[in-house]
Amino acid sequence: MAECTSCCRCSEVCIAFKLGAVEHAPVHRRREVFTCTACWRCARACPEGVDIYRECMLARRRQGLPESYRRALLRLLSSGIAVPAGDVNALREMHGLGKVRLLSSGELKKLLPGVERQLRR
């Protein structure tokens, strides 16, 4: 595997970094590894050919799921909405967006079998 030289070219093309959501550091060595948008611009920018996807997944496993993510997933499974925002379609209409049909918690549980049990551990 290629070795990261900490040149930070990955950060320079990172959407999360450009939006100010993360520190200037190699993508897979950040504290905020869960802010990755999975655009993988970082992988294309890496002059050393580091498998950044693999390194990010390893870093996520080491850090564990942030509590806010765990709560959002549990809300999603129980109500079909990850972020309590009231009437999602009213908010979408206010911003000129069309209505969407949200999945029911039953439909989500079929799509994500076993996830709820793992989150409640």
pLDDT in tens, 66-84: 888 888 888 777 777 666 6
Answer yes or no: is pLDDT of 85 > 70: no
Asked if residue 55 is part of any domain, the answer here is yes
Same domain? 114 vs 99: yes
Closest listed residue to residue 79, CA positions, set 99, 103, 101, 59: 103
CA 33-19-39 angle, to 5 degrees, is: 55
Asked if residue 4 is part of any domain, the answer here is no
Same domain? 81 vs 56: no
What is the radius of gyration, based on Cα positions, of the chain? 18
Asked if residue 108 is part of any domain, the answer here is yes
Measured from the Cβ of residue 113, the count of other Cβ atoms closer than 10 Å reads 8
User: The domain containing residue 103 runs over which residues?
Assistant: 67-119
Asked if residue 43 is part of any domain, the answer here is yes
Mean pLDDT, rounded, for 24-52: 88
Total number of domains in the chain: 2
Same domain? 75 vs 102: yes
The larger pLDDT score, comparing residue 53 to residue 114, is at 53
Q: What is the pLDDT of residue 7?
A: 93
Asked if residue 3 is part of any domain, the answer here is no
Asked if residue 94 is part of any domain, the answer here is yes
Q: What is the pLDDT of residue 6?
A: 92
Q: What is the pLDDT of residue 84?
A: 63
Same domain? 102 vs 83: yes
Which run of H or E residues covers position 111? Answer: helix 105-111
Asked if residue 32 is part of any domain, the answer here is yes
Q: What is the pLDDT of residue 43?
A: 92
Q: For residue 91, what are the CA distances in angstroms to 103, 105, 111?
A: 17, 21, 26
